[in-house]
Amino acid sequence: MHRIIYNSSDLIGGEQIQKEQWISTLSSGYARLRADPAVGRSFEGELRIVRTCDVSVGTIHGTVKSISRTTEDIAAQSTNNVVLLLNAGHSPLSVDQSGRSADLSPGASVLVEQSAPSIIRVSDGQCGLIAVQTDRERVHQRCAGFEDRLMTAVSSSMMINALVRAYVGVLAHEKEAESQLTMQFVADHIADLIAAAATPAAPVTADDNADARGLRAVRTQAILTKIRSGFTDPEISAQGVAKELGLSARYVQDLLQETGISFSERVLELRLQYAHRMLSQRHNDALRVSEIALMNGFSDVSYFNRCFRRRFGYTPTSAR
């Protein structure tokens, strides 16, 4: 797995130099995209790309009013990929390609071709964009008529968009290396997601009967991502996670049971592991045990002490 993180704030020089260098490198190497900075705003830009097993996911966040891909860019980086673009920002944006236009509200997506010029316009100059792509043939194997859905917006209410965001969130920020077999599953799931976005006539539901190939695993991954990002919240619940992903609480519980660990067990384990890590780090010596417990989602310190001793065989104080 190859990962790129390119942030303008990490570049040497003032804001103008950072802007020029970030935009120049974006178009000449990392992504073959041309960005037009927003006027009257302090510039910031971040690009994240993860490539593995013939698929790629990427995110762009920054103060740009448009992003385009020209015929020159296509010639310099010839591919036959299909790309699912998702509006991950807070304002509408539009996508133009091959004489057609698609307006994307926040959370909506659209399928485009990488081999054709395109331009994305951001209404307020604050871009938040997710792109997942794979080879055309991989999508064709899963959805033979996907070309008919090119440049057709997929509503933000469709569960597929939430699944894409959750999946990309893991890949774009996970730092630990994974096995080649795991990454092959990832590549298959991404292709499944792109194909699912091209088949809105059969929308994904929370019913077991709607389990298209790989989507059950993708949903599980999305749930695990939500748990990992929110376990320190004392109010986290299966109901809340289910609502965020457009699933039923029962379905969330069923998927987690298949992993062998229930929702509550998984949350408790994460809280205990992170609390243990904090207790063993010297720079946290000034923090009281009760403070560390609260920071990791425990509202009852006595309960934390009991759980900690049962899990590790000694008290939180001993862990220090």
Question: What type of residue is 304?
Answer: F
Which tokens go with 293?
């417990």
pLDDT of residue 212: 47
Residue with tokens 């990962």: 3
pLDDT digits (tens, 9 = 90+) for 102-161: 999 999 999 999 989 999 999 899 999 999 999 888 888 888 888 888 999 988 877 888
pLDDT of residue 102: 94
pLDDT of residue 176: 55
pLDDT of residue 76: 81
| C-alpha angle 271-48-38 in degrees, rounded to nearest 5 | 115
Q: Which class is domain 205-320?
A: mainly alpha
Query: In this prediction, what percent of the chain has a pLDDT beyond 90?
Result: 46
What per-residue string of b and e applies to 191-230 under the rule 16 or more CB within 10 Å gives b?
Answer: bbbbbbbbbeeeebebeeeeebebbbbbbebbbbbbbeeb
Q: For the chain, give every domain's residue range.
A: 2-202, 205-320
pLDDT of residue 72: 87
- The series of mean pLDDT values per 10 residues for the chain, 320 residues long, is 86 91 83 89 91 86 93 81 93 93 94 93 93 89 86 85 83 62 72 80 44 64 85 93 87 87 92 93 90 94 94 91
Fold of domain 2-202: Jelly Rolls (2.60.120)
Spatial CB neighbours of 284, under 8 Å, sequence gap ≥ 6 = 278, 292
d(CA 100, CA 121): 14
Secondary structure class of 294 (helix, strand, coil): helix
What is the β-pairing status of strands 81-87 and 127-135? antiparallel
**Neighbouring C-beta atoms of residue 12, cutoff 10 Å:** 7
pLDDT digits (tens, 9 = 90+) for 71-94: 888 888 767 899 999 999 998 999
